[in-house]
Amino acid sequence: MFIEPDERDHQIRRKYNKTKKIGEGTYADVFEGTEIATGRKVAIKKIKLGKSQAGGANGIELSAVREIKALRELHHPNVIELLDCYSYRGNLNLVLEYLDSDLEMIIKDKTVIFESGHVKSWMLMTLRGLDHIHRNWIIHRDMKPNNLLVAPDGQLKIADFGLARDYGDGQEKNMSSQVVTLWYRAPELILGAQQYGAAVDIWSVGCIFAELMLRVPLFADESEFVVLDKMFQALGTPSEEDWPGMSLLPKTFKFKKYPKPPHLFQAATKAAIELIDKMLAFDPNKRVTAKEALSHTYFKAKPFPTHPSKLPKYSRPKSDDKHKIPARYYSSSEDSVTSSPAPTAPGGSGVGLPASSSVEPSSSSSSQQLSSVRKNKRKAEDLDSLNEDEEDSEGIRDQYQDQVCQEQRGHDNISKNRKKRPRKRIARILNYSSSPNVSE
């Protein structure tokens, strides 16, 4: 039986009960809720239409379009699940799994002691989820610890697909290099590459791997070129032989030469060092893939990965009401690429770390950094808007524009002061069919 979009939205909305607001961002609010039939806790992300400032499709934030598009294609235990979508009162609502902690929280919790099996388990789940994403020809473009959410049963789930892009359709497309949080950004992106692939995600995962071992970010700074210099200090400055084509990148310059030093991860096993070296290869063509990484001897050697249910969890202080839910649920696309708070080196880590890796920016510099990041994010969205493939640009913007025009023509008799609800363009996102022959 065919069901009109408005009625379908109403049926979906009645399945859930909102309990309280638990987060607010520039373009979305997030609510805690429950699925009435099962009592399951969910997160309901309400996207505020008409708020978009960068590349939005007629008021729908581009990051929301990307997130829905990606999550409808991805179904894996290590990727956050989109349970439902519906429109209500002119807003788009995403119903997601409720996950109240992330890997960054656990890394920063100094009451938690990491064992080799713990790190191995988190890396295994991250790579399994990322392999599934890449198998579906999607690049995440913002892999970092606080986009890795942790379920109560210990399962790690990749979240925040607001910067995700399709790739690998046989055509080389220009994409923005102003993506990925700076501390986890691949060197080719820092040097302005506009044609790249899944290897940018692998570099980010290599940085996460290092952070799990060091308990602080590996390449932390506010400046792209200081971050690049730290890469060269830690890994040695690459030559043209090491990285063919490096000298042709738009922002390349004469780099200071650093020899490759003894490895930072003095307490790590040989297999762990070998895997992280393959992830942090300067040449993206030499980086290991997620599939290859999963087959590495690191995961087959003892100690074996800890079962997710036995992994350490974030010990939330009783007075901590500020982080009831990770910000990844509700941040805008421009907020999602901000750097994490400045790291402080843990006492007695027993792992070598360059002194320059710990950064303590002043409040004014942090404010300047956030402003700079937001400008870069808007620029990134604008660039990607121009570089979207035919499906994204015509299938989203042009169709939405046509629908909005039709909607406006059909409502000429409505008072000018009455707010028009953009149901048709929401229905397009939710994949509702206009055909009366389609059954529910």
Check residue 427 and report its DSSP letter.
Answer: H
Contacts 24+ apart (CB under 8 A), 426-430: 426/49, 426/60, 426/87, 426/92, 427/5, 427/87, 428/396, 428/399, 428/400, 428/403, 429/60, 429/65, 429/68, 429/85, 429/92, 430/5, 430/9, 430/85, 430/86, 430/87
169 is a catalytic site residue: no
Using CA atoms, how far apart are residues 351 and 154, in angstroms rounded to an integer?
26
Check residue 392 and report its DSSP letter.
Answer: H
Cα 188 versus chain centre, distance: 19
Tell me: is residue 24 an annotated ligand-binding position. Answer: yes
Residue 388 falls in which region: left (phi positive, over 0), alpha (psi -120 to 50) or beta: beta
Tell me the Cα Rg of the chain. Answer: 23
Which residue bears the tokens 């890994």?
235
Contact indicator for 219, 231 with CB cutoff of 8 Å: yes
Tell me: is residue 98 an annotated ligand-binding position. Answer: no
Tell me: is residue 427 an annotated ligand-binding position. Answer: no
Tell me: is residue 337 an annotated ligand-binding position. Answer: no
Amino acid, res. 104? E
Element (H, E) at 207: helix 199-214
No. of H helices and E strands in the chain?
13, 10
Tell me: is residue 102 an annotated ligand-binding position. Answer: no
Using CA atoms, how far apart are residues 255 and 249, in angstroms rounded to an integer?
13
Tell me: is residue 306 an annotated ligand-binding position. Answer: no
Using CA atoms, how far apart are residues 424 and 407, in angstroms rounded to an integer?
8
Residue tagged active-site, from 100, 102, 142, 201: 142
Strand partners, 60: 57
Tell me: is residue 23 an annotated ligand-binding position. Answer: yes
Tell me: is residue 25 an annotated ligand-binding position. Answer: yes
Tell me: is residue 95 an annotated ligand-binding position. Answer: no
Tell me: is residue 30 an annotated ligand-binding position. Answer: yes
Strand partners, 390: none
Q: Which residues have CB under 8 Å from 216's CB, separation 6+?
A: 343, 344, 345, 346, 353, 357, 358
Residue 3 falls in which region: left (phi positive, over 0), alpha (psi -120 to 50) or beta: beta
Using CA atoms, how far apart are residues 169 and 166, in angstroms rounded to an integer?
8
Q: Looking only at Cα atoms, what is the longest distance across the chain? A: 75
Using CA atoms, how far apart are residues 33 and 21, in angstroms rounded to an integer?
9
Tell me: is residue 67 an annotated ligand-binding position. Answer: no
Binding residues for ATP: 22-30, 45-46
Residues taking part in catalysis: 142
Binding residues: 22-30, 45-46
